[in-house]
Every structure is written in structure tokens, then in C-alpha cells.
A = this chain, B = another copy of it.
Amino acid sequence: MSFPWPRTDLTELIGIEHPIIQAPMAGVASPALAAAVSNAGGLGSLGCGEMTVEQLRESFGETRAWTARPFNINFFAHEAPEHPSDDAAAMRGWLAGYYQELDVRESPSLSETPMRSFDAATLRAVLELEPQIVSFHFGLPAHDMLDALKSTGTVILSSATTVSEARRLEAAGVHAIIAQGYDAGGHRGTFSEPIAAGSIGTFALVPQIVDAVSVPVIAAGGIADGRGIAAAFALGASGVQMGTAFILCPESAASPVYREVLRQTRDDETVVTRAFTGRPARAIVNRFVEEMAPREDDVAPFPLQDSLTLALHVASVARGSKDLAAMLAGQASPLARALPAAALVETLVCEAQEALAREK
């Protein structure tokens, strides 16, 4: 069955039927989810920014076993920060109350986060795995690493939150650009200073990036149904990346409490916060987000803050409490549906085709 998508440069570039990318969502995406999306004709993704090389091989192998179609593996490309000289004392002091409340060990090391930047060991593993698609967040790795990846035919994607970032990504040789609007859940992909500049809504951002670059543009942020896909095409995009829309799929790794909260989240109940990892990320407002809001100045640099808060998230989720859990989600959260991934992709395609036909 052939679908008449208005633009096919992206689907042809990455060899998929439908221009729908399931966002990598580290900690939420799973081999089962990614494989199901790819098998349904979209592009599934694994968020590998928190994986060891061994975990990467394992997750990649599982996904490959379940689908013969292309899927995407995603990595963080931030520069690792210096440890703050004071060992984040003010932040530790504030968090001590939460450690006590949840009965977790009080003094995690600042290097305990699983969040890693793309390094030489990861590159070697990736080159062995021969992925069809690799996407990056927070910019791109060093030129030689990117060239090594590209030399094997791997398609490279990365996120831009401003027009100037999109131009930089194109100049660096990415094959397609994810235009991540402010509506999006999860970490802002912003990689230029000041990070606050990357607050441009999806609606305003997509056409401006389309005008600025000649590679295919993937719209991301606030897109959770077929109307959004049709609108993204109208704005000039060649496809979409959707994260929140897939969280409620049974194949996702989202915890029961995260699912329960997401089902009730309103349009105005997410905010961009540095509280969880040190980088701005859109999350559902909960007790932790609210109580941390006045303490943004004490937040340790990404990803060191994650070292200090991860245990709180894990303990909170283990207790079935939303209070201290990191629940990343976008402004279109109320549009998310609890459907199996294959049914969701099929539904999205039908809705988009209907919306595209109706607008004629």
C-alpha cells in the first residue's frame, strides 16, 4: 500500500514508509517499542545516552532481532563538564532532606550519572553494529567521529532549536535536521549559548529552518496526532519526531506511575526545568519540580545534577510516588493515547492522511 506523503525526501533518505520517527527518549524507549514502530513502517529509536557499551550492544541486538527494518540509535553529544570545585555543596545540602525522606544513600558521587557523551569506545561499538541511522542531541561529536560514522553509510540526524543551530548542523554535514520546538518534551537539544535562546515554538521554528537549510527537516514538539503530522508538512517539514505520543504504548519502558500521571496531565502542566539533570528539559510539574524552581542557581552542570537526583527518581518510582520522579513530557501530553505501537502508527497515518485530504 502506498501513501501519498506530500514530501518523500526523508522517507527515501532513511528507507522508511511513513515519515514518523519515534523519539529516542532515554529510559522510556525500549527495543520492543523501537522494533514495533519500525515494523509498522515508521522509524523506531533507542535512546542510548544512558547506556554502557555493553547495554548498547544488547539493546541494539534485541531490536535488530525483532525488526529487519531501519531503526535509529541516539546519543548525547555534549561536552563533559568540569566537576564544580565545591562538589555542588549547596545542591547536596538542599537534596539531603529528600535523601533522608526516601531513605537513599546520602552522598552520591558527582560522576555516578549513567549519562555519557559520545566517546571513542562508543564510536567503535557503533561502527561494529553498523546502524542505518544515528541521531545526536546537544549538537554533534567531533568531526573525525562524525566522518567515521558517515563513511559507513550511516544517516546522521541531529536537533536544532534555532535557525543558526540548523545552519551549523547542515554545515557539519548532517543528512536531516530535527527542528525541536519549545513545545517538545524532554531535554532541549540547544547546543549554542545562551540556552534560553532555544525557546522557539514549533510553529514558528519549523518554516524558518525549512527556509534556511536544504536538507530534510523533521518537525518535533507538540505533535501527537495526525493533525500535527499534516500541519508539519504544511509548514514545510518532511516528517515528524514524536515522543510523548509513544510513552503510553505498552511496549515503552515508562513506569506505572509515569503512565498514570501522564494520562491526567493538562496542557499547562509541564515546564522546562534544569532540576533533574542540569540541562533544561520539559517535564510534568510535580513536587520536586516546584520545590526546585527557586534553586535553579544551585543546580550542578549537566549531567552532574543527574548524579545527585537519579537515586531520588528511582526511589520515588519504586514507591509508586510521582513526587520526586523525572517525568519528561511535552505540551501535547493530553493527546497521548495508550495504544500498542503498531496500532498507534497505523492510527497516526490514517489521521494524517485524512487531515491532508480534508485541507484540500
Q: Which of A82-90, A232-240, A337-345 contacts B (4 or more CB under 8 A)?
A: A232-240
Q: Which of A163, A232, A235, A355 has the most CB of B within 10 A?
A: A235
Q: Which of A197, A204, A236, A267 has the most CB of B within 10 A?
A: A204
What 0/1 readout, one digit per residue, does chain A (219-244) give for beta carbons within 8 Å of chain B?
00111010110111111100000000
> Interface residues of A, CB < 8 Å — how many?
48
Knowing A200-B183, A201-B181, A360-B357, the reply to whether A208 touches B267 (Cβ < 8 A) is yes
A6, closest chain B residue (CB) = B359
With both chains docked as a complex, state the minimum distance between the C-beta of A15 and any C-beta of chain B, in angstroms.
23
Asked if B198 and A183 sit within 8 Å, CB to CB, the answer is no
Q: Chain B contacts of A235 at CB under 8 A?
A: 227-228, 231
Q: Chain B contacts of A330 at CB under 8 A?
A: 204
Asked if B208 and A334 sit within 8 Å, CB to CB, the answer is yes
Asked if A181 and B207 sit within 8 Å, CB to CB, the answer is no
Q: Chain B contacts of A271 at CB under 8 A?
A: 196, 199
Q: Chain B contacts of A356 at CB under 8 A?
A: 234, 359-360
With both chains docked as a complex, state the minimum distance between the C-beta of A271 and any C-beta of chain B, in angstroms.
8
- Tell me whether A335 is interfacial, beta carbon within 8 Å: yes
Q: Chain B contacts of A230 at CB under 8 A?
A: 234, 359
Q: Which of B202, B207, B223, B233 contacts A225 (CB 8 A)?
A: B207
- Tell me whether A62 is interfacial, beta carbon within 8 Å: no
Asked if A201 and B221 sit within 8 Å, CB to CB, the answer is yes
Task: Tell me, in angstroms, the Cα distance from A166 to B268 when the chains sit together.
Answer: 12
Task: Tell me, in angstroms, the Cα distance from A201 to B268 when the chains sit together.
Answer: 10
- Tell me whether A266 is interfacial, beta carbon within 8 Å: yes
Q: Chain B contacts of A228 at CB under 8 A?
A: 203, 207, 234-235
Task: Tell me, in angstroms, the Cα distance from A181 to B199 when the chains sit together.
Answer: 13
Asked if B268 and A164 sit within 8 Å, CB to CB, the answer is yes
Knowing A201-B201, A355-B234, A359-B230, the reply to whether A335 touches B207 (Cβ < 8 A) is yes
Task: Give residues of chain A (71-108) contacting chain B, Cβ–Cβ below 8 Å.
Answer: none
Task: Give residues of chain A (161-216) contacting chain B, Cβ–Cβ below 8 Å.
Answer: 162-164, 181-183, 196-205, 207-208
Chain A residues in contact with chain B, CB under 8 A? 6, 162-164, 181-183, 196-205, 207-208, 221-223, 225, 227-228, 230-236, 266-269, 271, 330-332, 334-335, 355-360
A-B residue pairs in contact (CB < 8 Å), sample of 12: A6-B360, A183-B203, A183-B204, A196-B271, A197-B268, A198-B268, A199-B271, A202-B204, A203-B221, A228-B234, A231-B231, A233-B359
